[in-house]
Chain A
């Protein structure tokens, strides 16, 4: 049986849920889990104050009921699965290093910030700075897979270094800003200035805006990479597979920096 944490009532303050990940709860009883202190903004709180704990295997941790005050859900998790039914706050799956985190609702900013490996799926929308680095960090996401079925805010994929991000909805402005490498696919509409200061890496935009002048046209693209990559994405996103199966055009940029990045758009 799965470990289930059912929300008793909407919490009155922000909560840091980072202790509630499989590798930190290993070999703990339901009673011990209920006694764990959660970092808050004002009043001290224990897991048992917020959730009803139903004991079970910690290979999968299920949160029944979410809140936009839940921060750091699944952060730095290394194995297993964390599933939350409902919404979550900022830093969902931040620095995820393995395993899987799934949120069925909407999440706040910095979802998937600095993911190293593993898989994060957000079925609702995500806020600004998806997968981006936090203050003072050099790089954002550095591996793994991040999927958002809804829309995302501005600066999604900032400083992405490795790994794949798929956004099935729309994306805001400055998508893939300062991209270092890696791949970012957006099936919906995209705001202003995608790929600003990107050095290497790939943006794939099914509904691109007018591309900024610092991207140069490289013409039609029909190499084997497109179908091979599309096939690899198929289990995650049929839309992404469809995009890479279609005729493509390649733009290179940002020419104001290294200029070895690329944007694929439908031909």
Chain B
């Protein structure tokens, strides 16, 4: 695909095709940074793709104790789903099993949006009648007695219907080391973008998928056009000098957050250059007919 070249890195004339999602944000605090992060990591585990996990979730960033409601170290978590119901179910299960259970944790809503999800309003029943409702500062909380004291949990959180999921970068390199180096450099910068997460392991996915498969039970299967070992057997997208592809998938609370993350990721890959890093960057789409959000690499390139 003819595109542009920046600092020797080929950027395809292609675009990432993204979809509307439901998204919410939580602020999880803990007795120290380690345990605030632990609760957040556990809660966002097994949340790489809605295909198999129900939601896509990740850590948006650390929050300074001065900026949390209880003055303790906090971590902001973003959760995305395809439907409001699924988001509600997953949120209840994940906060109930992973945050409520984590030593010393507390859980707060961290998004202002018109639609509401229940949080403490459902988890309070764990208190078996000993739960205590408190309204202060214009917010409603539940205090649930637990074995290390109390779990403080906001009654509700809001969610946006304007979230965007499926922004992506396909990072193609000459060998494994350089491709991973480029992907890691991109993730390091993309992690700093507020309101966007990269839900795959460490932000990177090596098994990009295409829609459908030859098997009835599978809705998605390997993206053979980008598999280097199949280049002789399928209609490949890969040039002869490319032997490894890694993908970064981005979900954001807004279209702008996804675009920002892709922009800084692309800039980091370009900055690293084709010798140390990637030789080519592409993006995945379905021809533009399925998803309403199109992120064109040419417009995001440095």
Contact = CB atoms under 8 A, between A and B. Distances in A.
Interface residues of B, number: 19
B13 to A, nearest CB: 52
A163 B133 CA distance: 11
Contact of A224 (B132, B133, B135, B150): B150
Interface stretch (B67-75, B214-222, B224-232): B67-75
Interface stretch (B136-144, B252-260, B287-295): B136-144
Given A221-B149, A222-B149, A260-B130, A227 B136 contact: no
A222 B149 CA distance: 7
A223 interface: yes
Contacts of A143: 135
Given A231-B70, A260-B130, A223 B137 contact: no
Interface residues of A, number: 21
B106 A228 contact: yes
B149 A228 contact: no
Interface string B29-51: 10000000000000000000000
Given A224-B29, A224-B72, A225-B134, 7 more contacts: A162-B135, A183-B134, A200-B132, A223-B149, A225-B143, A227-B70, A260-B132
Shortest 6 CB-CB contacts between residues of A and residues of B: A223-B150, A232-B137, A228-B70, A223-B149, A224-B106, A224-B152
Contacts of A231: 69-71
B137 A225 contact: no
Interface in B121-159: 130, 132-137, 141, 143, 149-150, 152
A137 to B, nearest CB: 21
A149 B7 CA distance: 67
Contacts of A181: 133
Q: Quick one: which of A228, A232, A262 has the most chain B CB within 10 A?
A: A228
Contacts of B71: 227-228, 231
Interface of B: 29, 69-72, 104, 106, 130, 132-137, 141, 143, 149-150, 152
Contacts of B69: 228, 231-232
A183 B135 CA distance: 9
A260 B134 CA distance: 13
A18 interface: no
Interface in A7-65: none
Contacts of B137: 232
Nearest to A229: B136
A164 to B, nearest CB: 6
A119 to B, nearest CB: 12
Interface in A138-164: 143, 162-164
Nearest to A245: B71
Contacts of A164: 136
Contact of A232 (B106, B130, B136, B150): B136
A229 B70 CA distance: 8
A145 to B, nearest CB: 9
B137 to A, nearest CB: 4
Interface in A224-246: 224-225, 227-229, 231-233
A232 B134 CA distance: 12
Nearest to A222: B149
Contacts of A262: 132
